[in-house]
Amino acid sequence: MSEFPKDRARGFRPAFHFKNVLDIPASLFAEHGIKGVVLDVDNTITRWELTSVPDEIMAWMDALKERGFKLAFLSNGLSAKLKEVEAQTGIRIVPGKKPFLSSFARARDLLECVDAEIAIVGDQCVTDIWPANRMGWLSILVEPISTSDFLGTQFYRWLERIFGMRTPAR
């Protein structure tokens, strides 16, 4: 098993914070020994209220795959939307009950990587970053693509603001 890098975040704070996925260079994953990337769906790679992934984000994911990274989606989203995203991208979706770690373990098993070789990219500290940090994954927070959100997500975003969770760890 790989040694856990000392610069990874703990708690609700991400190791890295970017405006959107397009700002995350593939070299960041390589520098941290990442082999598998888990992506949130709603407001990370597609708008919460839409079912398709924008072309530029598709190109970003394709570039990661070309560099040899394994990709998987982990989402609490609606089943019908997730099926459409999976069909469009060809990337497997692990339906989950985030932030429960069992969903993250299923994503790890799908990627066939050890925890220290996995990164997550998501737009929420409570459901994406916190459990990923508990798993020992490299956590990367992005700003939500859209201001439209599920009611429960709005509550989590309020908590993020109140407790200053969206600040990067380094």
- Would 8 be classed as within a structural domain? no
State in Å, rounded, how far the first CA of the chain is from the last one.
Answer: 25
Q: Please give the model's pTM, rounded to 2 decimal places.
A: 0.85
State how many domains the chain has: 1
pLDDT of residue 156: 65
> 51 lies in a domain?
yes
Structure tokens that stand for 83 in this block? 């099926």
Cα dist. 138→13, 22, 28, 127, 167 in Å?
A: 11, 17, 10, 15, 15
Residue 141 belongs to a domain: yes
> Is residue 37 one of the residues assigned to a domain?
yes
Residue 168 domain-assigned? Answer: no
Domain that holds residue 130: 16-163
Mean pLDDT for 100-118 is 97
pLDDT value of residue 153: 60
| 9 in a structural domain | no
CATH code at position 130: 3.40.50.1000
41-77 confidence digits (pLDDT tens): 988 999 877 789 999 999 999 999 999 999 999 998 8
More confident residue, 165 or 15: 15
Identify whether 91 is part of a domain.
Answer: yes
